[in-house]
């Protein structure tokens, strides 16, 4: 499952473990529910294998949940937005990152969040006590190239479009939505 698309290189993602995790899934799933979706690696892998009819992707981090929805439902707009941010002709690429981060913290725009996730240190999401994204840029690389990002975005969109619901609820509310033919994959975030 190494060739699956993954636009979000997220620290703690299960993309490399997905094939092993999926071995434990039942064959017939009505809805795969991920209360702590993160990069949605398990839903992406399960969809590639045709394991569920529907998907519920949830993450309490609302900009992340909105970004996942954007990836699936608006791949062209998101790809173009990412390419524009990535291609900004600015001699100060680090300063550009900080300006995008400031704009994101003000607007919570998921298009900006994709750029930050692709450029930040180790794909690691960090917030300060005021709830503002405060991760630094990786100074060794510029992030995912636009063509690679476009292919990943469209790949995920093809896998999940038309069969996925996105939310940003408390996990207890998401669990209350599960039916008897659904599977809940819980990979709770760890506490640092």
Q: 74-108 pLDDT, tens per residue?
A: 999 999 999 999 998 777 889 999 999 999 999 99
pLDDT in tens, 104-152: 999 999 999 999 999 999 888 899 999 999 999 998 888 899 999 999 9
pLDDT in tens, 153-177: 999 999 999 999 999 999 999 999 9
The upper half-sphere exposure of residue 168, i.e. CA atoms within 13 Å in the direction of its Cβ, equals 10
Residue with tokens 């300063």: 95
Report whether pLDDT(23) > 60.
yes
How far is the C-alpha of 64 from the C-alpha of 109, rounded, in Å?
Answer: 10
This prediction has a pTM of 0.92
- Residue 143, sorted as left (phi over 0), alpha (psi -120 to 50) or beta, turns out to be left
Phi, psi dihedrals of residue 33, rounded to the nearest 5°: -115, 125
- CA nearest to 169, candidates 70, 67, 56: 56
Q: Binning pLDDT at 50, 70 and 90, where does residue 19 land?
A: confident
pLDDT mean over 23-46: 94
First-to-last C-alpha distance (Å) of the chain: 29
Residue 11 confidence (pLDDT): 63
More confident residue, 98 or 187: 98
Instruction: Tell me if 119 sits within 8 A of 142, measured CB to CB.
Output: yes
Instruction: Tell me if 46 sits within 8 A of 164, measured CB to CB.
Output: no
Residue 122 confidence (pLDDT): 82
Return the structure tokens found at 187: 């990979």
More confident residue, 1 or 27: 27
């Amino acid at each position: 499952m190494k060739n699956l698309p993954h636009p979000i290189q997220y620290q703690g993602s299960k993309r490399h473990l997905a094939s092993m995790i999926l071995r434990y899934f039942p064959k017939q799933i009505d809805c795969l529910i991920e209360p702590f979706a993160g990069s949605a690696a398990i839903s992406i892998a399960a969809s590639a294998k045709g394991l569920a009819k529907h998907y519920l992707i949830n993450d309490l981090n609302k900009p992340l949940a909105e970004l996942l929805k954007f990836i699936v439902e608006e791949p062209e707009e998101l790809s173009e937005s990412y390419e524009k941010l990535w291609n900004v002709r600015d001699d100060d690429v680090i300063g550009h990152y900080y300006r995008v981060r400031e704009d994101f913290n003000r607007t919570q725009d998921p298009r900006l969040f994709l750029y930050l996730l692709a450029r930040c240190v180790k794909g690691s999401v960090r917030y300060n006590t005021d709830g503002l994204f405060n991760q630094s840029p990786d100074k060794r690389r510029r992030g995912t190239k636009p063509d690679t990002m476009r292919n990943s975005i469209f790949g995920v969109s093809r896998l999940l479009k038309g069969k996925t619901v996105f939310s940003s609820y408390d996990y207890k509310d998401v669990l209350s939505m599960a039916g008897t033919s659904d599977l809940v994959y819980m990979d709770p975030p760890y506490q640092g």
